[in-house]
Structure formats: C-alpha cells, structure tokens
Structure 1
Amino acid sequence: MTCHIDSLYIIVDDLERAIAFYEDFFEQKILNKSELGGYFDINGFRFHLFAYKKVSESHTYGSNCLPSICFASLEEMKRKISDKEICFPLTKISKNWVAEFVDSEGNHIEVYTPVKK
C-alpha cells in the first residue's frame, strides 16, 4: 500500500475564536475560510478547522485523536506555548521534548521537538 496523510480536521464550537487562536499560534492567516471553517497550510499539511454545528452534526469530544506539531527548537516551542493552558507538562520522552496544551475549543494539541545532543 502506498499512501500519505496530508491533512486533519479538528472540530470547533466557535469558529471565529478558533481562527484567532490558530492564526496567532501558526503566525499565518487561515486559507479558504467559509462558514464551515477553513485550513492552515503548514508546509504542505492542511490543518482544518471544522464548524460542525453549521451542518447539524453531533460530536463527542475525546482524547482519541491528538494532533502533534513539531518545532525546530525547544526555545521556539516554549515560546509558542508559554501563554497556553498546559495539560501535559514539558517532558523528555525518548529523543523528544513533548508537551500538550488545550486550544480555545478544548482540543488537546501535542507539541514536540528533538532533544539536542
């Protein structure tokens, strides 16, 4: 089998609040914005926000999907999460520094960076 993953969707309750949160986090504007959402292009990977209530879908929040975002350095990663609600503290796991924060919509987002030798 040959395949690759090039996008993910996270559900949001308040689209404008989520857009503001992620525009600040990713330091870029959302693309293809509509009443249903939009996405950010992160080096060819599409990170979508989906306003599920606009299409009357029901969703149950859980922790079975954890988007994971890699940073080039520990310093940059610490800067980006310094004002976020941390739900998993900065921890060295194997060859990476890992932490998780809660976004504006209650989603948990993992961030990591390789441990420098």
Structure 2
Amino acid sequence: MVSGRFYLSCLLLGSLGSMCILFTIYWMQYWRGGFAWNGSIYMFNWHPVLMVAGMVVFYGGASLVYRLPSEAVFANSTGMLVVAFGLLVLYILLASSWKRPEPGILTDRQPLLHDGE
C-alpha cells in the first residue's frame, strides 16, 4: 500500500516542478523579451518553457505515477495520460522551434556550402 510519505513527496515534487515552470516563464517574459506565435524571433522563447514542462515536470510526474503498485490501476492509467499530454506538449515544442524557411531567406540552419538559390 502507498504510504503518506509518498503522497507528501509527490506534493513536494509537484510544487517544485510548478515553481520551475513559473521561473522559466518569468525568465522568458522579462529577460528574453516575451512570447510570440507569429513567426518572429520571440516564438523560440516557448522552447525552454515547453522543454521544462514536458521533459522535466510531466515526464517526471508520469514516471512517478507509473511506479505505483500494480493494484493502482487508476494511477497507472493516469500516468499514461500524463505521458500522452507530455507528448502533445513536445509536439507543440517542435512546431515552435522548427519551421520551414521562407524562399529566398537564408537562415543559420542551412548548410555551410549553400549557394543561396
């Protein structure tokens, strides 16, 4: 059976993860210029926030829930839902960090021997 210390540690780790997300949002908003979704350079500011949220907090929480005993079927299915939500966040992360270059505009992601055509 799951003890009270386990729930207390889950609460502590959840609040620590929420603080990490809030500090990352604060850092991107006030030190890096804010957020955008219009294709400007501020669109990349979503990348660290979603990386911390998806890869650190949600994946960590899902692995913690998944490690519960097999009797906790509801908790294990909840862990799978958290992993699915983390994958959704990672998909949004990929959409915000990688975009197709517009024709005629050279970016720093093109090969070094690119002839500019």
Q: Which has the higher helix share?
A: 2
Compute the TM-score of the two structures, normalised by the length of structure 2: 0.26
Larger Rg: 2
Compute the TM-score of the two structures, normalised by the length of structure 1: 0.26
Q: Which has the higher strand share?
A: 1
